[in-house]
Amino acid sequence: MFWDGHDPFSSSHSQYRAQLFCADQQQLAMARASAEQLGRQHGRTVRTQLVVGQRFHAAEAYHQKWRLRQHPALLAALQRNYDSEPQLLASTAAAKLNAHVSGHWVHDGLDLAQLGLSASGLAHMPNTSRPPVNPVGLTGATP
């Protein structure tokens, strides 16, 4: 799933570079093995930086739930359930909807009922029967 969420072969400026934060050396070894396998499969070098023991800093709020922000009516319908933007961004509902509009989570009726959206809010739910949007077409490659 991690490799699906970004282009692991691109390099970018330091503030936007992709990084995988590992908790310990064992996770780092697993991430390296996964990255090497991915690179071999595609004949390219994985440029995602693998780091261990560094402090993670969340991006600014306007970067959070970026795919969901591309659907302002849906975001506004969800926001009505929260007192503040930080509460919304930390919510499971926002995480699920962000994954859904990115094509990484196909909802079922039971999960939709738990998101707290009104009928008018649900009307803004996009059809994501397409495969996940990712630059390398990976499925199930997780470190």
Q: Express each pLDDT in 71-128 by its tens digit.
A: 999 899 899 999 999 999 999 889 888 888 887 776 666 566 677 887 777 777 776 5
- Residues in Cβ contact with 36 at an 8 Å cutoff, skipping those fewer than 6 apart: 46
- pLDDT tens per residue, range 23-53: 999 999 999 999 999 999 999 999 999 999 8
Report the pLDDT averaged over residues 126-139.
51
Distances (CA, A) of 63 to 12, 29, 136: 16, 29, 22
**Contact assessment for residue 101 and residue 70, using Cβ atoms and an 8 Å cutoff:** yes
pLDDT, residue 11, reads 77
What is the signed CA dihedral for 11, 34, 28, 96, rounded to 10 degrees? 80
- pLDDT tens per residue, range 91-106: 988 988 888 888 777 6
**Contact assessment for residue 2 and residue 139, using Cβ atoms and an 8 Å cutoff:** no
Residue 108 burial (10 A CB sphere; 0-12, 13-18, 19+):
exposed
